Chain A
Amino acid sequence: MNGAHMNETKQRTFDIAVVGAGPAGSMAALYAATGGRNVCLFERKQTVGIPVRCGEGIGLKGISASAEFDRRWVQATIRKACFMSPGGRTVTLEDIEESCILDREIMDRDLALRAESAGAVLLCGTPVLSVSRSDRALYRCTTPAGDYFASCVILAEGVESRLARSLGWDTSLALSDIESCAFCRIRHPSIQSDAVWFYVGSTYAPGGFAWVFPRAEGWANVGLGLLGSLCESGKPQQFLERFVERFFPGSSLTDLHCGGVPVGKWVKPLVRDGVMLVGDAARQVNSLSGAGIAYGMYAGRLAGQTAARAFETGTCDYRRLADYEKAWAKHLGKQQLRSYALKTMLLLKNNDAFLERIARSFEHADPSRLKYVALFLRAFARHPLLLLKAWRLFGANRAGRRTGDT
């Protein structure tokens, strides 16, 4: 090896490589760099955050738990949540946890910039084509711009989770564990800037729901997701066009995009021989709501911190990376498995008549006193069998965890 080549290889060698500059990846890179490590952050797209493939709704508690929150990320502040039943009944919740609609384009860019300011090297327009072992303690990340090397790799590659597959994980999603979504932005005078709307039932979105999340008065993100097993080629787009035509007649669809949302359990293990999975790549998404920003940011931060700490002895101690999975499982991991149990149970009972009965029972309820949990309790109270099934699912999750630990 000549001197110039050695020099170049050295420049291309990092402690930690993070693949994907979404919220999960940028958080991982930020905290790994803050922890004193030499970090590289790869992004396939030319510009971070574009296009936005997201409904952009989030609870403030969820996002503040991981990142220093910037008010500039907020498009609209939400005061109430409204549910539309298959038959057109509305249930309104007014006393909801503080929530907002984000501008992901600004937020994603800011998070990547924070990682960069902390010392991470951000490489946009650089897809990682493969990750392989270079030697016992080093991974090779192959890109069109040549090879890069790192002791530890954090995969935040999004829903495709393909590099993870090449490293031995089985991350291919079953059709019952993915929502195929289509979304767009529309302008319509009926859109209120402080209310989110969920439309549930097979007429709007079989095995999923449609959402209207305001960006401002008269302007909203509108989208819907169909469960993979109930989806057919092109159907989400057709359902979206039909939905907009029905509820917001005359408005045209702009920024039309599609995307897959994992709604299964999170991947086990999350860590393997110096490689960690975070965010959508790890299927860390609330299975019931499809919300993944807060989960991804929390996991990214945790993974970045854990990876940085694993280097305390100088080289990466792979055994210490497992702390990430332990901490995740204990906190949001547990919450996700609960949401998965609820989702599975609702799907067992997913018929429009059932949803209509719940909506009817709330018809005269006071919106300011209604809570999300009340909706579920009511559903269960009326259907004790469901409660039993849910209980079994929780039990199954706990048993699964025990076997997973051994």
Chain B
Amino acid sequence: MLTIDKDKCDECATCVAVCPADALCLAQHLSVDTGRCTECGTCVKVCAFGALSHTTE
């Protein structure tokens, strides 16, 4: 599952721009639609502050 570290996230939306599944959304804060997310890891890779990660549970 994709996890957003709210303390690290700068809300720059770079991850939203690269998400091929359109699963991320930045309104007031960044959120992920877990139903759409395919866990491809693209957003994790481009996050400049390392605020995104995949966790297993």
Interface residues of A (CB under 8 A from B): 44, 53, 127, 129, 144, 158-162, 165-166, 171-175, 178, 180-182, 226, 228, 231-237, 257-260, 262
For B25, what are the chain A residues with a Cβ–Cβ distance below 8 Å?
Answer: 162
B19, A233: Cβ atoms under 8 Å?
A: no
Indicate which residue in B12, B16, B18, B46 contacts A53 across the interface (CB closer than 8 Å). B12
Indicate which residue in B12, B18, B49 contacts A234 across the interface (CB closer than 8 Å). B49
Question: Taking A172-B17, A172-B18, A228-B46 as contacts, is the C-beta distance between A127 and B28 under 8 angstroms?
Answer: yes
1/0 contact trace for B3-44 toward A, CB 8 Å?
000000010111011111010011110000000000000101
Question: Taking A127-B28, A162-B22 as contacts, is the C-beta distance between A233 and B16 under 8 angstroms?
Answer: no
Identify the 4 closest CB pairs spanning chains A and B, nearest first.
A234-B50, A260-B14, A258-B48, A236-B48
Indicate which residue in A127, A174, A258 contacts B49 across the interface (CB closer than 8 Å). A258
Question: Taking A175-B18, A260-B46 as contacts, is the C-beta distance between A127 and B27 under 8 angstroms?
Answer: yes
For A127, what are the chain B residues with a Cβ–Cβ distance below 8 Å?
Answer: 27-28
A233, B50: Cβ atoms under 8 Å?
A: yes
Interface residues of B (CB under 8 A from A): 10, 12-14, 16-20, 22, 25-28, 42, 44-50, 52-53
Distance A259 CA – B15 CA, assembled complex (angstroms): 9
B48, A129: Cβ atoms under 8 Å?
A: no
Distance A226 CA – B44 CA, assembled complex (angstroms): 14
Distance A232 CA – B27 CA, assembled complex (angstroms): 25
Question: Taking A172-B22, A175-B42, A233-B53 as contacts, is the C-beta distance between A159 and B48 under 8 angstroms?
Answer: no
How far is the CB of A163 from the nearest CB of chain B, in Å? Answer: 11
For B12, what are the chain A residues with a Cβ–Cβ distance below 8 Å?
Answer: 53, 159, 257-260
Distance A231 CA – B50 CA, assembled complex (angstroms): 11
Indicate which residue in B20, B44, B52 contacts A172 across the interface (CB closer than 8 Å). B20
A160, B16: Cβ atoms under 8 Å?
A: yes
For A235, what are the chain B residues with a Cβ–Cβ distance below 8 Å?
Answer: 48
B52, A233: Cβ atoms under 8 Å?
A: yes
Chosen A-B contacts, 16 in total, with CB atoms closer than 8 Å, are A129-B27, A159-B12, A159-B14, A175-B42, A175-B45, A180-B46, A226-B48, A233-B44, A233-B45, A233-B47, A233-B52, A236-B49, A237-B49, A258-B10, A259-B14, A259-B48
Distance A122 CA – B22 CA, assembled complex (angstroms): 28
A159, B17: Cβ atoms under 8 Å?
A: yes
How far is the CB of B49 from the nearest CB of chain A, in Å? Answer: 5
Closest A residue, CB atoms, query B41: A233
Distance A260 CA – B7 CA, assembled complex (angstroms): 19
How far is the CB of B30 from the nearest CB of chain A, in Å? Answer: 10
Distance A291 CA – B17 CA, assembled complex (angstroms): 18
**Besides the contacts A162-B22, A174-B18, what 20 more A-B pairs have beta carbons closer than 8 Å?**
A127-B27, A160-B17, A161-B17, A162-B26, A172-B17, A172-B20, A172-B22, A173-B17, A175-B18, A175-B46, A178-B18, A180-B46, A180-B47, A228-B18, A231-B48, A232-B45, A233-B45, A237-B50, A258-B48, A260-B12
Distance A234 CA – B44 CA, assembled complex (angstroms): 9
Distance A228 CA – B19 CA, assembled complex (angstroms): 12
How far is the CB of A21 from the nearest CB of chain B, in Å? Answer: 15
How far is the CB of B12 from the nearest CB of chain A, in Å? Answer: 4
Question: Taking A53-B12, A231-B45 as contacts, is the C-beta distance between A260 and B17 under 8 angstroms?
Answer: yes
B13, A178: Cβ atoms under 8 Å?
A: no
